[in-house]
Amino acid sequence: MFLADVVGTVVSPVQIPELERRTLLLLRPVTPDGRPTAKTRVGVDHVGAGEGDRVLVLDEGNGGRQLMGDPQAAIKTVVVGVVDYVEREGEPCYDHRSAAPPARLG
Amino acid sequence: MYLARVIGRVVATVRYRGLEGVDLQWIQPLDERGEDMGGALIACAAVASGPGDLVHYVDGREGALALEETYVPVDAAITGFVEEATVLGEVLDRARYIDGPAGGRA
């Protein structure tokens, strides 16, 4: 799993059946202190997250299929948690109450 | 899953059993700005799409699961047609992903 900032939403009127009625979020993987760290992903929301939230993302097929309750679902990127607080070596490095919203990439 | 734009199609007459009739599309992954992210790749079209379309795709074993015949050697499949992607409150600029950052269609 990794941390990501939800930076947007994806509207997809035609898609594989397992994705129907699911919310797709645009995710920017980040380090615990908020620096972009990997490729932008599209994830299936499973917790009611929205733009501006820092979230926990699962990017693995077996877990994804288990969450969707469908052993044949072609889904692997799933948002599985909304992060409140991150601490590194005893020091807080993210607190959702005081964190600035994600900035636009240059 | 990742965002991508379809930049072309691939015709292959000789195929592995089970892949007959599956469209092959040449796609370029995109980041949250609509700019190219990594190299282009070939994906099976689980959802109909064509050059110029914005899509999302899944990679790895899940690529094959998106198809009708799931026991096939496939590592990427287009899972949906994207009508609109919103990034930090703004709609992803269509001209950017259709024409590419260089301004010319691939």
Note the ipTM here: 0.92
- C-beta atoms of B80 and A15 within 8 A: yes
**pLDDT at position A27:** 98
Do A16 and A44 meet the contact criterion of CB atoms below 8 Å apart? no
- Report residue A82 as tokens: 């909304």
Q: Which CATH number fits the domain that encloses residue A66?
A: 2.40.50.220
Q: Which of B29, B39, B10 is nearest to B82 (CA)?
A: B29
Residue A56's domain spans which residues? Answer: 2-95
Which tens digit of pLDDT belongs to each residue from A36-56? Answer: 999 999 999 999 999 999 999
**pLDDT at position A10:** 97
Residue B1's domain spans which residues? Answer: 1-14+21-56+63-76
Residue B91 contacts by C-beta under 8 Å, 6 or more apart in sequence? Answer: B84, B85
Do A40 and B32 meet the contact criterion of CB atoms below 8 Å apart? yes
- Report residue B59 as tokens: 């990679």
Give the total number of structural domains in chain A.
1
Which tens digit of pLDDT belongs to each residue from B56-88? Answer: 999 999 999 999 999 999 999 999 999 999 999
Which tens digit of pLDDT belongs to each residue from A44-91? Answer: 999 999 999 999 999 999 999 999 899 999 999 999 999 999 998 999
- Identify the contact set of chain A against chain B, taking CB-CB distances under 8 A: 7-16, 19, 24, 26, 28, 39-44, 51, 61, 64, 72-77, 101-102, 104-105
